[in-house]
A and B are shown apart, each in its own frame.
Chain A
Amino acid sequence: MSKIVGIDLGTTLSEIAVMEGGEPKIIENREGARTTPSVVAMAKSGEILVGVQARRQQITNPQNTLFQVKRLMGRRFSDASVQQDRKMLPFEVREAQDGGVEVRMGDKWYKPAEISAMVLRKLKQDAEEKLGEKITEAIITVPAYFDDSQRKATKVAGEIAGLDVKRVLNEPTAAALAYGLNKKKDERIIVYDFGGGTFDISILEVSADTIEVKATGGDTHLGGEDFDQKVMDWIIEQFHKDQGIDLAKDPLALQRLKEAGERAKIELSTSLETEINLPFITSGTEGPKHLYYKMTRAQLENLVREYIDKSIALVKQTLQEAKFSPKDIDEVVLVGGQTRMPAMQEAVKELFGKEPNRSINPDEVVALGAAIQGGILQGEVKDVLLLDVTPLSLGIETLGGVNTVLIAKNTTIPTSKSQAFSTAADNQTSVDVHVVQGERPLAQDNKSLGRFILDGLPPAPRGVPQVEVTFDIDANGILNVTAKDKASQKTQSIRIEGSTGMSKEEVEQMRKAAEMHEEEDKKRKDAIEAKNTADTLIYTVEKTVRDAGDKIAEDLKKDITERLDILKKAKESDNVEEIKRVTEELSQIIQKAGAAMYKDQTPPK
């Protein structure tokens, strides 16, 4: 049975994904890339090129290189948007006999759906190669505002490409699916899709068996490319001021600037500062000129502030038209590469007062959601098999108040983990199991989920008993913690509900707290571990000395006793360096004693 693929047929870029092992996965094309430019061209040789190769020869062949064809699909020639877009498209666009649109490539005229079909065919063939199986069925996504005629054209494009289009799915709905939001009945979702060239807003409502589109908005000519332009303009202006040369007049320099500007913008999403370094950018009257500027994140944000503000204003407008207020929105989803920008995420978060969903690659989330829809139709995605993860680490409190993690955060459930622990003192007959949830190294700084005591342990020296602690979480997030003493077989357990049911806000908060306190937490944990090590050594040394009796020379014994006292005192202080140093010294001495004891052994008769 062949798989149903999910295809995001975008205005500038397209992607294809499929379900594998219960999870959607993007399929790379023949060139090894995860995205395919939605560009088709007839080369001078007459060969038809699709994807990145078509884009590479665009400059030498502008009239026969077709791009952004999505803007023309299913439209009437007389549509205002078609007339507007015609102006910026270098290829010929004319009215078809039925009032639709036709585009020219080479000597032939094509319907936009035929051109999109070529992109779909490449995606299909490359995917078949990668997967090693035929693909005949697909889900293709479209903007939520596409009308019947546009959706039909999309379906036709699929059919021409040899695909049975099982469903034409709304892009925002696909994104919501990718985040599993279809399970959130009666909730309202807003999808903020800021791509390369278009900005789309969609308000969705999840009902019992469908996701309904309540409202749409946006700006079809606002995107990340406008941001790149602002950066470029800034660089050109600076250079003009500093060097008196207008780089806008130098096509070669402009190309380098465009690439550098885009790279700088992307870097500033993860760094606070970046540099734009272009030696030999051009030649002046006195010789070659070099360009070097530093740009901070704050500077970039100033440059594009008006676009971000505009997008927020458009969101407010769409909300108003749908008669909703930001408070009515339960979930926010970010789509499109530009949404990686921290300032944009902040603006959206501020408007809605909640963390947006952005953990899935925003360039791929729509294709992934479409693949999930394909999986649902094939029955591969059962509700019962959509598994959760633990949002935060789960552990128990061990000697010194340390948080010893048994199940790390983001582990898929159901799952089970066990670890053996022991006692801290001689003749300790019970252990206290304190279950905590969180990322901080000390138990007290995390959330306490519950505690219980396992007693009746047979008396034994410290470190000898074996108590196995098991954490078991079922598919519903119910955590069962069991402690079992291997010697007596005695067991005690506790059942904790809702360990996975934390709101995104709470999880974010705890994660941030861990990050903020990372330095000091590490120091505290270090100190505790140093003390624990010292403790264990003191115990071992005292025992050894006791057992050895006079097998240890007097002066050595004196040395050991002195060091023991120093260490005991050091332990009370908080001087970690001191504790570690004396621990090491004592360790060396007792080893010497041990070695001496071995030498003195009378050989067996």
Chain B
Amino acid sequence: MTPIVGNISLNLAFGFSVLSIIILSIFLRSGDYRLYLTGRRLSIGVSLLSIWATIVLGYQLIRSNFEVDYVAHYTSRETPLLYKISALWAGQAGSLLFWVFILSLFALTVIFQNKNTHKNLMPWVIIIITAVELFFLVLINFVTNPFLPVEADIIVANGLGLNPLLQNLTMAIHPPLLYLGYVGFTIPFAFGISALINKDTSSLWIQSVRRWSLMTWLFLSCGIILGGWWAYQELGWGGYWAWDPVENASLMPWLTATAFVHSIVIQEKKNMLRVWNMVLIILTFTLCIFGTFLTRSGIMSSVHSFATSSLGPLFLGFVFLILIFSISLLLFRLPIMKSEKKMESFSSRESGFLFNNVIFVVMCFAVFWGTIFPVLTEAVRGVKITVGAPFFNQINTPLGMVLLLLTGVGPLLAWRRTSRQSIIRNFALPASAGLLTAILLLLLNLAGYVVISFSLSVFVLIAMVSEFYRGIKARMSRFGENPITALITIISKNRSRYGGYIVHLGIVFMFVGFTGNAFNEEKEFGIKVGQEEHVGIYRIKLSGLSEAERPNHYAFIANLRITDSQGNFIVNLRPEKRIYNHRNPDPNRRQPHSELDIYSTMIKDIYSVFSGVDKENQTAFLKIMINPLVNWVWIGGYILIFGTMIALWPRKDEV
């Protein structure tokens, strides 16, 4: 298996994809079923060849074939096996190949799943998926080829190795998860566009993509949360979200996708919002491509720009092509898409969903605006105005509060119209609990968003718990079940509803965690061995400095003893200052890296960074942060995953 095999596979995949699209188009005109089968098989061939090429590249990485430029750039002999494999998505060419690899897996699944269903939709679904594959195959064949050999006049004895920041288990799985999310939305997009082209106004396509969308949404959510977790554990600035352009790139499709997974429920149940759902899936898919572009083109300088490249114009061209094609198609079909049904009342579940959708989309626009603002101001005024986290926080905090409110309000509303009695019955308890919390917090001298956020969290929490309680009580009185059987039955009888409520609970946990940011404390200082420093209510004592030599780095270790103000022992923390490649004679090649240490509880995290060492004076320079409630964000993430899994789990009658 030489690199040539991979190269030839990619060439063939490119040719097959062009052929497949042409033959399927001829089939649509002539109706000759044999042409459909040929086109379909060619498309399967594209996927298989792309998967094969990815395996070949993986093999080159594992056996460290430094004749391949990509392998020499991102791995070295010393790179552990896991990170040799993860180098597949560490660089630009590899990650684009990996994109096609995932799309190929999805494409095969869709093609085989729908072998005998959706006969009218499938030809266009296959064409659209293959066209997306074609775009990426053009990039990896002609612009940034992962199998390119190193320049002919040198022999590489050892590769450059993988960035130590990326040598971390989280960082090995964060990109694939995000990619599963980005790539996955190709499928609902393909079904939606195919339904449009076929003038299919039924909700059939929605039913067939509901689970795909939810699964993809879950991958995207996990990818984003994991990215934040990595930033918190590794980067040492003490936060998990910086509103960096690349983070925004993943948040934008997440926002529109969240709107989409909500509003397709309305189309499924009421056959309303058909145009709106099309708009959402077009936006989501476009933002996924745009996200890949932002991450990979290096147009925005950020921590994520591990690569800079010439892909920009091609990606932007593709984004515009998708937008122009889908929007004009939608406009063309508008007359048959309009729904006859109307919204009946503001106090209906439909209207709750609609408002949640609007807030998600304007929030996405706000993030988009802030992300491209520097580019805009530079073009219009000639000055590049950079936009920092305070800008995003200021805009998105009130929007987030409205969303949090709707998280609780939406599920309490009935379809069509909620009667006054049931509004009073459903809202009385959660609303008074929220108000009570607000009063208590105001008495504790807290103010502003903190009070709003915590009281809304209590409101949503009580609202969700009382929904479960009502369901359980109804079954207990009707069927005489015990509470636990009743709980299990209501969930299994209505997985998407109760799974959704659990996700909402996860969101509450996350908001509590976000609100904790308002109480962060931070201190940077130098300290001699034996001395003590106060940070917040804690005392930090440097009890010693030690050193250790390990296989690929040298470490200075600060031994910190943390006590509270009364002197009660809490924990020992050992943040490290590491020097990678410490044996390299050229000091410029030695790579310092701060390995931080965190003491984590439900109430707060004590976060320590060892930023510098003065050995002669036995002094360590430290950054200590007290970050309240951070754990709630991660726990919220777990609850979110759990709830989505419940919603995704197939019903018995589906098996």
- Whether chain B is bound by chain A comes out as no
